[in-house]
Amino acid sequence: MKKISTRLHAAHLLMALTLVLLCCMASAQINPYQYTINKMANGSKGAVSSAHPLASQVGLEVLKNGGNAFDAAIATQLALAVVYPGAGNIGGGGFLVAYTNKGKAISIDYREKAPGSASRDMYLDKDGNPLLNLSQNGHLASGVPGTVAGLFASHKYGKLGFAALIQPAIELAEKGFVITAAEARSLNGSKSAFEKYNTVRPAFVKEKAWKAGDTLVQKDLAATLSRIRDNGMKGFYEGETARLISAEMKRGGGKISLEDLKNYTAAERDPIIFDYKGHTVIGMPMPSSGGLLMQQMMKMIEDRDIASMGFHSPAAVQLMIEVERRAYADRAEFMGDKDFVKVPIQTLSSDAYLKERMKDFIPGKATPSDMVKPGKVNPESDETTHLSVADQYGNVVSVTTTLNGGYGSKTVVGGAGFLLNNEMDDFSVKPGVPNMFGAVGKEANAIAPGKRMLSSMTPTVVLKDKKPWLVVGTPGGTTIPTSVFQTLVNIIDFKQSSLDAVNNPKFHHQWLPDQVMVENDFPKSLQTSLEKMGYLFTNRGQIGRTEVIKLEWNGKKVKSIEAVADKRGDDHAAAY
């Protein structure tokens, strides 16, 4: 007995030493008080592109220390939960799409679920009017968080122990890190919301305004992350953290119960896989609409020679607007959590259906949205953040994760230091009533206990010659699928560099409202040409923050890896 316990002690000591060594190696390279932003990085052994320099660096250090792309994706997400609190999270949910060096396509669903006591009309008053403030802010807006379950579900594909992957995040929370000008602006902008929707004053609120260079320390978050390190999933879904979440819900009138937390599971699902001009596109299935929308949009343009029309020519942009409009009309009608509702996926993705959908497309003339009803389908038998990662072994991981709006519900779990999502707003609170992204939905996306709300997140991997080639994704609510669509078409059809494909101005049509949303730098002359065809325009400031990783191969070996980070934020590309 004694011998066993001595051996155990020795094993623990060894584990602890390895952990300290790994962490020291990691922190030796990372200075949370001084860092710069890189928009492009090249290497051959590994790369991470994410919304924050410190998070990308944490992921890169994991790769350097023998971790694979899954390990790096986990560590990057955990670091984002600390350094990018507006969207990085442990109180939200996400999706992972990956392709392993064994040739396996994977998707993991860790989308939030409606609490067990949620009900279809919970955001309607007694006269049936929508109460969007409740689906968008505060305690009642939160679904049961999925992120921590998702991290553990993806860890089965990793190589390193979980403790080594979470330790950098714990240190960033415990010791603090210096915030950027963008983060300072964002925290200041949400101050009154933080004051309104919290029962315990969170670390994000201070008397004087935040400015670039201030240090953000999150002690309660560090303690929560340490409980996850020490107790695994139970460190979040049971015990002290679960108790703190449940107490917060009781104080603020939310619905997430201890039972909801204990019962939460992530799901590994069959990804959506389709061909586009000789490439294989791997995307996220329901409850994200992202993969199916991509398939619909790409298949509707595949038989047209968009390259010869020219990049940002009125003809090419009009074609893309019209396929976007048609796909989003189907989203509103048919898409939702297929564990709860029948989604006619076979039909919606079939060549015959998509050909039929394009029959009323008239080059040079806008099709009004009231003429584009959702397609005819016969019953069948049957503020978000993205990170892209690649390793030297040929594994690639694409993850989009979210709290929904910036800082989610704005509610921080008292004593636990993390923000809860406001993902319930992604349900259709009432047929035809737009959510915060202007998206409408119907029965397929109505609220039900335990159901997952429909998402637009589109983590994507593209294979060329059966090898991982592109790892892509972005935040942006309903603009996500159209941004990923345009990024891929820019690279595949218009032969643009990843950097140009990401940074070129984006446009977006989502059927309703019947207008084209464009970024500030969308060319004015192009807009005028399209207005003459009958399109209405609205300015959307910026669309998305896309991260692309591109791999080149030398036979069976990775030859080079290029990581690109969107110009639109603090996004940072790291490679070695």
Contact footprint for ligand DON (CB under 6 A): 383-384, 402, 404, 423, 426, 455-457, 475-477, 480
| Nearest distance, CB of residue 299 and ligand DON, angstroms | 21
Smallest separation (angstroms) from ligand DON to the CB of 83: 17
For 519-539, give the DSSP string: -TTS-HHHHHHHHHTT--EEE
Residue 359 CA to residue 362 CA, distance in Å, equals 8
Give whichever of 224 and 288 is closer to ligand DON, judged by the CB atom: 288
Q: Is 385 helix (H, G, I), strand (E, B) or coil?
A: strand
Least distance from ligand DON to the Cβ atom of residue 94, Å: 9
Task: Answer yes or no: 280 catalytic.
Answer: no
CA distances from 135 to 78, 138, 454, 543 (A): 26, 8, 14, 23
Q: Which is nearer to ligand DON, 414 or 569 (CB)?
A: 569
Give the residue with the Cβ less far from ligand DON, 290 or 417: 290
For ligand DON, the closer of residues 480 and 565 by Cβ is 480
Instruction: Give me the least distance between CB of 487 and ligand DON, in Å please.
Output: 15
Smallest distance, Å, CB 465 to ligand DON? 32
Residue nearest to ligand DON (CB): 384
Q: In 10 A of CB 148, how many CB atoms?
A: 29
Query: Rounded to the nearest whole angstrom, what is the least distance from the CB of residue 421 to ligand DON in the complex?
Result: 8
Contact 389/99 with Cβ under 8 angstroms? Answer: no
Tokens 């010869």 appear where?
308
Find how far residue 99's CA is from the centre of its chain. 17
- Whether 493 and 317 have beta carbons less than 8 Å apart is answered as no
Q: Phi, psi (5° rounding) for residue 202?
A: -85, 165
CB of 385 to ligand DON, least distance (A): 8
Q: Are 166 and 78 in contact (CB under 8 A)?
A: yes
Please, which residue, 280 or 445, has the CB nearer to ligand DON?
445
Work out the angle at residue 290's Cα, subtended by the Cα atoms of residues 425 and 445, and round it to the nearest 5 degrees.
40
**Minimum CB distance to ligand DON smaller for 462 or for 484:** 484
Q: How far is the CB of 364 from ligand DON (least distance, A)?
A: 32
Nearest to 458 by CA among 209, 107, 148: 107
Long-range residue pairs from 305-312, CB within 8 A, at least 24 positions apart, any chain: 306/489, 306/493, 307/493, 307/494, 307/495, 311/490, 311/494, 311/496, 311/504, 312/504, 312/505, 312/523, 312/526
Instruction: For ligand DON, give the closer residue by CB, 88 or 477.
Output: 477
Note whether 291 and 349 are within 8 A (CB). no
Q: Could you give the angle at the alpha carbon of 168 between the alpha carbons of 269 and 170, nearest 5°? A: 95
Say if CB 264 and CB 115 are below 8 A apart: no
User: Which among 280, 384, 385, 482 is annotated as catalytic?
Assistant: 384
Q: Please say which residue, 154 or 422, places its beta carbon nearer to ligand DON.
A: 422
Torsion of CA 303, 305, 310, 314, to 10 degrees: -50
Which 3 state secondary structure label does DSSP give 150?
helix
Residues identified as active-site: 384
